[in-house]
């Protein structure tokens, strides 16, 4: 089913060792987990199945070594799944990660989300002195009973020297500045980063999978765009 994403832009993170935060899925390069759906969307699909010692499979793709960017606008139009234990993200890591280990390379989370709280998402910065549970975070909540599982939304950053602006559907919900992190650690967002899209299952942020969570669960991505 489906075809793989464009290999000139996307490569795969493969494995099932928890990804540093106890995630339950094995991320594969199979079209069952990552594919174009023929309707103009990229699909990341989490499935409940035994695979290489894990109880779930999913997808985690990245532009590392292929498409990397410093400053500008980075956005994705996406629809997210609902359900306890589903943890999708659209994020970036410093392209120097092999030379400068995380969090020194910098991490930019444009969209993170917990399927058990489907009206809320958040954006974060991780760097030396402000990483993991100490990340600098802002959240955005849809009003009127809407959820991010109901429809597509545009998750974006506008990235300038010393300032990163986070928005949903062009509504700004957070502006993070270098002055804000100077008391915590270094500002590490003045070099090239690459993009990651993934759908985690469980983990320290996703939490245990709920009895009502339906698999397969999917993230649909209409587009990812980078503007200089």
The verdict on whether 228 is a catalytic residue reads no
- Determine how many CB atoms are found less than 10 A away from the CB of residue 179: 10
> Are the C-beta atoms of 24 and 55 separated by less than 8 Å?
yes
Single out the catalytic residue among 75, 82, 107, 218.
Answer: 107
Q: Which residue has the tokens 């990651």?
A: 196
Residue 12 to residues 33, 61, 114, 198: CA-CA distances in angstroms? 11, 4, 23, 10
Q: Please, what sign has the CA dihedral across residues 7, 10, 11, 12?
A: negative
Task: Find, among 94, 89, 74, the residue nearest to 223 by Cα.
Answer: 74
What tokens appear for 199 in the block?
């759908």
User: Phi then psi for 194, rounded to 5 degrees?
Assistant: -115, 160
> Are the C-beta atoms of 36 and 197 separated by less than 8 Å?
no
Strands 54-58 and 60-62, by their bridges, are unpaired
Single out the catalytic residue among 49, 112, 134, 146.
Answer: 112
The verdict on whether 25 is a catalytic residue reads no
* Residues classed as catalytic: 107, 112
């Amino acid at each position: 089913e489906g075809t793989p994403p464009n290999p000139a832009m996307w490569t795969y993170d493969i494995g099932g060792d928890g990804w540093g935060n106890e995630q339950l899925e094995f991320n594969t390069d199979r079209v069952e987990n990552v594919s174009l759906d023929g309707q103009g969307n990229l699909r990341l699909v989490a499935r409940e199945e035994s695979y290489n010692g894990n109880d779930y499979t999913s997808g985690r793709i990245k532009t590392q070594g292929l498409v990397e960017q410093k400053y500008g606008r980075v956005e994705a139009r996406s629809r997210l799944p609902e359900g306890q234990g589903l943890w999708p993200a659209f994020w970036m890591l410093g392209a120097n990660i092999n030379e400068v280990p995380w969090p020194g390379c910098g991490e930019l989370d444009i969209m993170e989300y917990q399927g058990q709280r489907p009206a809320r998402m958040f954006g974060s910065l991780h760097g030396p002195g402000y990483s993991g549970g100490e990340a600098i975070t802002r959240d955005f909540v849809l009003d009127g009973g809407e959820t991010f599982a109901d429809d597509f939304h545009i998750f974006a950053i506008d990235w300038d020297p010393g300032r990163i602006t986070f928005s949903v559907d062009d509504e700004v919900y957070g502006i993070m500045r270098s002055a804000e992190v100077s008391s915590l650690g270094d500002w590490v967002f003045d070099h090239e980063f690459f993009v990651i899209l993934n759908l985690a299952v469980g983990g320290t942020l996703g939490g245990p999978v709920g009895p009502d969570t339906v698999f397969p669960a999917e993230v649909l991505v209409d587009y990812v765009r980078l503007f200089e």
